[in-house]
């Protein structure tokens, strides 16, 4: 079994989420060193998103997975199904301009929360890429997991 297939299988497990969260600082470092070319162990299409801290006003960088949708990127604030929203998603609500580093390029983006029928369409794309997102939704309930569209500015 390949490493990506194994990760997709284990992605539903709570212990797997906790291990991935624990190595996130290493993932950030690898992402910065490779200019966003290698993030999340290369298991999923991933980027480094840099938001503005809603309290500090300082840049905050985090590795996240994404799917492409036309010129934009779709990202999900699943936080592995934990009860709280990830800080980067709260930052985007407070200040929707951000930048992403993907494939060695830095791209300025503007975030919008995806709702309604559009949310269902892009959610299906996210679940096709990483089926564990369905598990994360159940685990996070009653929290509504946010989905964002990041459009280049």
Confidence check: pLDDT of 29 > 80: no
CA distance linking residue 151 with residue 153, whole number of Å: 6
* Distance from C-alpha of 59 to C-alpha of 52, rounded to nearest angstrom: 5
pLDDT digits (tens, 9 = 90+) for 97-143: 999 998 889 999 999 999 999 999 999 999 999 899 999 999 999 99
Please state whether the predicted TM-score (pTM) of the whole model is above 0.85. no
Q: What percent of the chain has pLDDT over 70?
A: 78
Q: How confident is the model at residue 40 (pLDDT cuts 50, 70, 90)?
A: low
Q: What domains, with CATH codes, occur in the chain?
A: 3-152 (2.30.110.10)
pLDDT tens by residue, 7-26: 767 776 777 777 776 766 66
Q: Rounded to 5 degrees, what angle do the CA atoms 128, 40, 150 make?
A: 65
Q: With bands split at pLDDT 50, 70 and 90, how would you rate the model's confidence at 30? A: low
């Amino acid at each position: 079994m390949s490493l990506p297939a194994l990760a997709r299988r284990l992605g539903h497990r709570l212990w797997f989420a906790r291990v991935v969260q624990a190595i996130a600082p290493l993932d950030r470092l690898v992402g910065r060193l490779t200019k966003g070319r290698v993030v999340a162990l290369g298991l999923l299409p991933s980027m480094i998103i840099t938001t503005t801290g809603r309290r500090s006003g300082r840049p905050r960088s985090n590795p996240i997975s994404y799917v492409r949708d036309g010129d934009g990127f779709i990202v999900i604030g699943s936080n592995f199904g934990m009860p709280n929203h990830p800080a980067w998603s709260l930052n985007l609500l407070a200040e929707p301009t951000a930048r992403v580093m993907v494939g060695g390029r830095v791209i300025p983006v503007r975030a919008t929360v995806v709702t309604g029928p559009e949310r269902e369409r892009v959610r299906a794309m996210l679940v096709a890429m990483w089926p564990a997102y369905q598990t994360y939704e159940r685990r996070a309930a009653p929290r509504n997991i946010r989905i964002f569209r990041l459009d280049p500015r």
